[in-house]
Structure 1
Amino acid sequence: MTSFKVGILGATGAVGQKFIRILENHPWFKITALGASSRSAGKLYEEAANWIESTRMPDGVKSLTVLECTSNHFDEVDFVFSGLDSSVATEIETDFAKAGIPVISNAKNFRTDPTVPLLIPEVNPDHIEMIREQRFTADGSGWIVTNPNCVAVPLTTSLKPLYDAFGIESVVVTSMQAISGAGYPGVPSLDIMGNVIPFIGGEESKIRQEPLKLLGKLKDGAVRYADFPVQATATRVPVINGHLLSVTVSLKRKADQDEIINVMKSWGSPIHDLDLPSAPKFPLKIFDDPRYPQPRLHADSEGGMQTAIGRIRQAHVMDVSYIAMAHNTVRGAAGGAVLNAELLVKKGFLK
């Protein structure tokens, strides 16, 4: 496999640091450039970053000089991962795409763009074809791909088998979101310790909208969104990693509990034969024990890339209820973007 030179935008932030940790020993991708704000530019990375990962800072990045996030400073990379804040992502990511540098982004800014794939490889790998509709460069060398919101990932992955087998009429979801999802320094300790915050600004609209694009059908280069309502309530809970969701679904074709469980257990990933380094062997883990999944016990399963599901049961209101959970900063952020890049390599969009 060809080795790719990779840049990271927003490298000093929480998501940028997660990219660095995940890519430390990646067999295909080598970090060769790090970008951050003008406050950090010009410094060595070990001086610029307040390292918050639980593992040591990789030696390979310590002595890299942090660059400003402009495409002319990254002319020797093959593509970039973006962990940029949404307040600056639109301008910077556009600059890179127009310079012919592909961008694989964790930011929300382009997720609803009609020509930009919003991608979960196990759910909608065919959506990468939307790249061909982008016009950042005349020759198509520059483009943007995004990964979804950290709740939309486990929600959509868990809905996929049900949507394919039965169709969906409506969804009600309550998220119990870990504090790492708020970045660093995150939620003040006096607000979250021994407490639950029943609102996260800007979150519920993403949970409502993004699954509909992800489950949509690609036709003539455009996505026809899935057509069902999602009622979302987003809460913050005193858990470090792992977003836990309580999901209730109304199905178009009614089914009993055993059939639903069998469909979810027998679901097969469409990318299982591609041998992508970050792809979990079992992207869905179905627990029979009603005590599971739990963030502390299961968020790191399969390198943090697995979606865990439990308490599948017939609902007294609507049709089926269950619990879903995934690691928010790995599967729901940097790890998901790395998996997207691996798929893009295999499909020939990165070469």
Structure 2
Amino acid sequence: MKKIDVSILGCTGTVGQRLIEMLYNHPWFNIVSIAASERSAGKTYKDAAVNWYLPMDIPEDLRDTTVVDTDPSEAEAPLAFSALPSEIAKEVEGKFAEAGCVVTSNASSYRMEKDVPLIIPEVNPDHLQLIDVQKENRGWRGYIVTDPNCTAIGLAMVLKPIHDHFKLDTVYVNTMQAISGAGLPGVPGLLITDNVIPYIKGEEPKVMNETLKILGKMEDKQIKFADFKIVASCNRVPVIDGHTETVFIRTKEPADIEEVKKVLREFKGEPQELNLPSAPKQPIIVREEEDRPQPRLDRMAGTVPGMSATVGRIRPGFDENTLLLTLISHNTIRGAAGAVVLNAELLYAKNYL
């Protein structure tokens, strides 16, 4: 398979750094340019990424690579991975798509647009049908595909098989979100150490609205949102990586707990069928221990570290139509960079590139 040249937009933040990690030596993609804001453009990557977040070193042959501006004429590649801040992604990603580039984006700017696919490859690959609608609506030669909010990804992936088998009625989710989700430089230490912050700006509407879009159905060239009720409460906690979510679920059909565990364990999707490089063999891992999952122990679970969601404490509620569970997913891998990469792999495997 011939490698495709790619650019990384927003290469200096936590997600951009994860993209460097996941795309360097990728079997299908070849990094040819790295781009960032005017503040970083013109610098070498080692000078621009001064707050390096990962335990691995910057790859040697990228250290002295010059960071270019986020302009299609400078970041020349047919495929762009965007880790841009949402406040600038709307304009920049649109310019790239208009210029004929395929943009697979982690930014929130286009997620809820009616003609933009919001994709978890195991959950809703059929939503890629919106690509043709998007190009027709906007007159773009390229297009944009987005991945969901880092919290919504783990949640929607776990809810998918439950919804398919038992039909969701109501979901209450309480999140305990890692500090890496706030980006760099992140939450000041004096605010988060020995503390829980019970509010993350804009997070709760994203979790609720994006989940309903992801689990919706394609009808007449548009997405009909899922019709269950969902409420979210989002908290920042002093954990470096890995979002924990406790979920109360009411189903329309009786949900036997052992059957719920079975459908979660057996859940697979197109990435597993297509054997995509970044796809874990088991997207959902079920733990039976009474004190699992835990972020420190489970965030890197799976055959592709950080790309599986881990679920535990699956237990009955107050009747046969209610249950509770706890899930963990890695917010900067499965919830961000890994999701962007997996989306691009799906596009390539399905001949959208």
Give the TM interval when normalised to the shorter protein: over 0.9
Q: Within 1, Cα distance between the matches of 2:58 and 2:244? A: 29
Matched, 1:187 2:190: no
List per-residue Cα deviations over 1:279-333 (Å, max 9, x = no partner). 0011000011111111001101131000000000001276010001100000000
Shift of residue 44, structure 1, vs aligned partner = 1.4
Which residue does the alignment assign to 1:65? 66
Using structure 1 for the length normalisation, give the TM-score: 0.96
**In the alignment, does 2:322 pair up with 1:323?**
no
Equivalent residue pairs, number: 349
Structure 1: how far apart are the matches of 2:300 and 2:136?
A: 37
1:309 aligns with 2:304: no
Shift of 1:139: 7.7
Q: Secondary structure at the match of 2:231?
A: strand
Q: Distance in 1 between matches of 2:80 and 2:251?
A: 40
Match of residue 337 from structure 1: 340
Tell me how far apart the structure 2 counterparts of residues 213 and 53 of structure 1 sit (CA, whole Å).
32
Does the 8 Å contact 1:204/1:232 carry over to 2? yes
**Percentage identity across aligned positions?**
46
Inter-CA distance 136–60: structure 2 relative to 1 (3 Å threshold): farther
Q: Deviations over 1:146-184 (max 9, x none)?
A: 000001011001101110001011100000000100001
Q: Distance in 1 between matches of 2:197 and 2:217?
A: 36
**Matched ranges for 1:1-351 at <5 A:** 1-50=1-50, 51-75=52-76, 77-135=77-135, 141-302=141-302, 303-316=305-318, 319-350=322-353
Q: Secondary structure at the match of 2:259?
A: helix
Residue identity opposite 2:59 in structure 1: P
Kept after mapping to 2: 8 A contact 1:175/1:235: yes
> TM-score, structure 2 length as denominator?
0.96
Is the CA contact (8 Å cut-off) linking 1:94 and 1:136 kept in structure 2? no
Deviation at 1:258, TM superposition (A): 2.1
Q: Is the 8 A contact 1:132 1:140 kept in 2?
A: no
1:180/1:138 CA distance change after superposition, 3 Å: closer
Whole-Å separation in 2 of the counterparts to 1:254 and 1:118? 30
**Unpaired runs of at least 5, structure 1:** none
Root-mean-square deviation (Å): 1.5
Deviation of residue 255 (structure 1)? 2.2
Query: How far apart, in 2, do the equivalents of 1:185 and 1:56 lie?
Result: 18
3-state SS of 1:72 partner: coil
Kindly provide the CA deviation profile for residues 224-252 of structure 1, in whole angstroms up to 9, marking residues without a partner as x. 11011211000011111100000011101
- Partner SS, residue 285 of structure 1: strand
Secondary structure of 1:134's aligned partner: helix
